[in-house]
Amino acid sequence: MTLPENHPLASGRTSDAPLLRAYRGELPQHTPVWFMRQAGRSLPEYRALRAQHADAPGGHPAGGMLAACLDPELAAEITLQPVRRHGVDAAIFFSDIVVPVLLAGVDVSIVAGRGPVFDSPVRTASDVAALPELDPQALAPIREAVARTVAELGSTPLIAFAGAPFTLASYLVEGGPSKDQMRARAMAMAEPAAFADLLAWCARVSGTFLRAQVEAGASAAQVFDSWGGSLSRRVWLEQVAPHTARTFGALDGLPVPKVHFGLGMAGVVDELPRHGADVIGVDWRTPLDEVAAVVPGWPLQGNIDPAVLGADDDVVRAHVLDVLERGRAAAGHVVNLGHGVPPETDPDVLTRIVELVHTETTLSAAASLSAAAPARGAKGPADG
């Protein structure tokens, strides 16, 4: 399948955007920057919008944030807010990795201060067999929200996203967030066949969610493997990686770059390109130049330490410049955090980081182009 004619990539609106050039390993006009969790609680305009809609009638029975995710107008507005405020080089669709699970018919709610919570965890083979399949038609509100968003973004790309199968499975098995994913890891060892079926279901759900966003207008896609780092290399490769690859495989035939971001996954970073990733997102733990040495020729994304956002301006500046310097070792570099924006972050800090990255790298890009150009009067390679 090809993209619709009005898709931002098919029409060329986003094809030359700095983000996509960097994702392709090309030299962009400046190093692009966006932030995971850039939309949401750190923005006063987001808090005001949520307060305004807190008592609004209608919405989804799940209520709260999930209702906002399924309101196309609201989801589009929240997605656009950080682009307007910070001038970032990409928007990432405002949603949650459990939204497709909810739309498949599984009861889930988001509890303030905790995260997604399932009243009926999935822990046995019969629990897995009872999971309903996701009807693509149920994703109509997602498609509409994406279409509304890209209509406002113009040449700025929208990034689709979904949860990696193990991360999504962990929430289902644990019944909510967990520090060590102990129940999920135990199920993988005690009931490997049932766990494989659960991972396959999660891959189908996340893949369908991801594809719907891309078909509706997203120009790139990112899979979040938030809990993949809790697994050993062997378990991730043997039991999980094939399902992660199937999630990315849902985008086969669609010409969008695919990003894999995982926490604590330095031990498998060499394998990520073989399992669907065109770009590797790096958390704050491993310097970018060290990752580039392991996966030469692969574009990287990251990896400002979110903890630095509360430091003095001079500390922030030095850290960002160090990330930029190390990122030059990669085939392409997109600046991001090594995880998400903490909710207590002063949004002005993020705006200043965007300005710093753009200023510093626009000068560098201009110098590189100048050095590559033949001197005036000299014969270039096409001059004979």
Q: Do residues 93 and 34 make contact, with C-beta atoms less than 8 angstroms apart?
A: no
| 37 tagged catalytic | yes
The catalytic position among 13, 37, 123, 326 is: 37
Query: How many of the other CB atoms lie within 10 Å of CB of 290?
Result: 13
| 96 tagged catalytic | yes
Q: Which run of H or of E encompasses 224?
A: strand 220-225
The catalytic position among 71, 96, 225, 283 is: 96
| 114 tagged catalytic | no
Shortest CA distance to 244 belongs to which of 223, 230, 226, 263? 223
| 13 tagged catalytic | no
Residues 6+ apart with CB under 8 A from 49: 74, 77, 78, 81
**Backbone phi, then psi, for 241, in 5-degree steps?**
-55, -40
Alpha-carbon distance 40 to 302, whole Å?
Answer: 20
Distance of CA 63 to the CA centre of its chain: 24
The catalytic position among 13, 46, 171, 204 is: 171
Residues 6+ apart with CB under 8 A from 318: none
Shortest CA distance to 74 belongs to which of 98, 97, 93, 91? 93
Q: Do residues 131 and 169 make contact, with C-beta atoms less than 8 angstroms apart?
A: no
Which residues face 247 on adjacent strands? none
| 41 tagged catalytic | yes
Residues annotated as catalytic are: 37, 41, 50, 96, 171
